[in-house]
Structure 1
Amino acid sequence: MKTKKVKSRKKQSRVVRPRDSRSIVHIVGDPANVEEYVRICSAHGYNVSYHCPGSLEPLTTIELSAARNESHVPANASFALELTNVDLDQKRRNLEMLDKVLPSTTAIVSSSITVTATEQASWIRHKVRLVGCSALPTLGDKPLIEIAPTVFSPGATVQVVQTFFRSIGKDIELVQDRIGMVFPRILCRVINEAAFALQEEIALPHDLDQAMVVAAGFPVGPIAWAERIGITQVYAVLKSLNRDLGEDRTRVAPLLTQMALSGTWWQQATAFHEERR
């Protein structure tokens, strides 16, 4: 009697959570985002390594004893954060390198406010390991983080990511995988509307900020908040949103485009006009 040979199924790698707070978290991306999360992860006891490709300036507020600046991805990292919003070509290179070096069981959480997490997952081999998050400068210190599973994300990966963010003191909101996610999208569109108001000379920056703080209860006005975030970060979100939806209501204010592309000239011009009031 012949016995049937049963083909053994190849065991699929499953993403696992960091073993404990002494595990290594590797963080790569835009300097402002990296700096926030290096500080947060270090404060919660994680060993942190970080890298900001293309940045020539050191992260001055990071204690050297708490984190290591490493241009090479440490192969023993048990969790990775990719926090690039502006240069998407660099973001893709970062993700491809993380996917190549890290074990397939290591989760990668990537900022997905300028490109969806699902598109990012399509760039790498081990797609199930990637989940999106709402990383935008100044939001790292907020108590809530938005995370967006991809179409490839199994429940186990999402649980690993949730466990990590809870370990650094975050409340979690699961949202759909769309450009801008929720709060970053709303915030950047408010800033864009403020830029239209500036362009049409409805009010000066200080007056706009004061109106939104007093009348709308904002913790800080939209122009001041944009400066803290970084105009290029806001511009990147708005451009990606407009590219995704293709609607006139998502058009970037021409003044904001100039602000993003030409540095601090607008601050000097605004100061001149306010002095003449």
Structure 2
Amino acid sequence: MDKVAEILVEASAEVVEPRFRALAAGEVMEKAPGEVVTVADREAEVIIARRLRELLPLPVVGEEAVAADPALALALHSEPAAWLVDPVDGTSNFIAGRPEYAVMVSLVRDGRTVAAWIWQPATATSYTAELGAGAWRDGHRLTRAPAAADPAKWRGSVKSRFLDPDRRRTVEANTIAFGEITAGRHAAGIEYPDIADGALDFILYWRTLPWDHAPGSLLVSEAGGVSARLDGSPYRPEAPGCEDGLLVAADPATWERTRDILLTR
């Protein structure tokens, strides 16, 4: 666990942090319509993937490698184990000079996330989680207290961009039941720790790319929260396009109540 955490910190210091608020012309590119990537993303992924393979020789499913060859993501199901890498989570924030970005890795075995690492360079904060062993922030164990009983006191985020229009109208209309709905922080590596730390009580996601959600889902679950599909099945990392819809909450009761409120027509 410590060695992977070191890899993230060192790769971030080498090629990510020096480019924060210092990206040169030509160092930001479009990798797909509406999706951007920077040289920091690509260089960090190469460094992290190489060092992870040296540590444990497994396939590496990296966000940028999959953008070039989508078939690489099939290793999540075809191989007994694989590394998942998000070299710069929150790339749009990083490009804009906002500090809400992270570097993330997770280890998947037999379709389940068994270990996770999140490094937040702007605050030098490290989050780790291991299946059955707990969640940690800078070496201190995380235990998420249950949310208040009254939803009117809850603070959450609803990512409605990718919902179909009918469901979006339903969900957005139902947010009135909650105390505060935020736009989110545009980086899963910031938002999941916000739930584990108690800053948020729930988040509804729709598109669930595995490198974005595997690390934080394990972190929240091991801290006492819930990360599950809308049918109640526990989150499992899927290749892009396989599964949509994910509700993350502070505790089981909050998860159930949030789902009921948001999806009621």
Interval containing the TM-score (normalised by the shorter chain): under 0.3
TM-score, scaled to structure 1: 0.25
TM-score, scaled to structure 2: 0.26
Whose strand proportion is higher, 1 or 2?
2
Pick the structure with greater CA Rg.
1
The structure showing larger relative contact order (alpha-carbon pairs under 8 Å, at least 6 residues apart) is: 2
